[in-house]
A = this chain, B = another copy of it.
Amino acid sequence: MSNPHPHTQTAADLFHGLTAEERREVERVTSERAFPKGQVIYTPGETGEALFLLRRGAVQIYRMSAEGRKLVIAHLAPYSFFGEMSCIGQGMYDTYAEVTEDSLVLTMNCAVLEHLLMVNPRVARRILEAFGRRVLDAEQQLEDIAFKGMTARVAALLLKEAEGDEVAGLSHQDIAERLGVYRETATNALNELKAASIISIGRKRITINDRERLTRAAES
C-alpha cells in the first residue's frame, strides 16, 4: 500500500530502536508541549536552537514574501521533525513553523541530538532519509514551478494530497499557498479542471472523477 502522502515525513518514530537506557536519557532532556491551532512555533530569526518532533496534530512550514504572500514549503504529519536546520546546518533559515491543528510537540536540545547522532547511527539514518525526501520534494517543486503551468501544478498537488478520490480540508486559499500563487489563480485552474469534468468541486472538498486524465493534466 503506497503512502497517500509521499511528501510528508511519515517515517517511523525517530527514536524507535533506542535502548531503554537511551530512551530514558532522551526523555530526560526533552520536553513535550501542546500548541493550539494557529500558534506560530518559530519565525525567521527567533529560532531557538532545537529540534522539534511532532507527536500529534499538524504543522506547516512556510516562507513569506515581502508583500505577504505565503509559500508553504511542507506540511508535516505526526512523527515528522522540523527545526533541524538550526541544529545540523549552519544557522537558521527564513521559515515560519505554524500549527495548523492542535498539536503536541516534543522539543529536543541540539546538543543532545548531536550526541544521539554520533552514538546511534539508526537515528542518523532516519534523519538522513527524511532529509532525502525533503530534498527530493523541494527539487520537484522547483521543477514544477519552473516548467509547468498553473493547471498542471494544481493537478499535481491534488494527486499528491488525494486520499482515495477525495481531497478534503483544503480551501482554494490553502492550495494557492502551497503553490505560492494567488487564490484567484488557483480557483481558475480548478475551474478549468472542473470544466473538463476531471474533478468536482465542493466547499473544501474536491473529488477526482478521472484520475487518469488528472495525471495527464499534471504533466503538461
Contact residues of A with B, CB < 8 Å?
Answer: 63, 65-66, 69, 71, 73, 84-85, 88-90, 93-95, 117-119, 121-122, 124-125, 127-129, 131-136, 138-143, 145-147, 180-181, 219-220
Contacts and interface: CB of A to CB of B under 8 A. Distances in A.
A80 to B, nearest CB: 14
B129 A66 contact: no
A71 B142 contact: yes
* Majority SS at the chain A contact face: helix
A132 B132 contact: no
Nearest to A134: B135
Given A65-B146, A66-B147, A118-B125, 16 more contacts: A63-B139, A65-B143, A65-B147, A73-B139, A85-B135, A85-B136, A89-B133, A90-B133, A90-B136, A93-B139, A95-B139, A121-B124, A124-B124, A138-B139, A141-B142, A142-B145
Contacts of A146: 65, 69, 71, 145, 180-181
Contacts of A71: 142-143, 146-147
Given A143-B63, A147-B66, A132 B180 contact: no
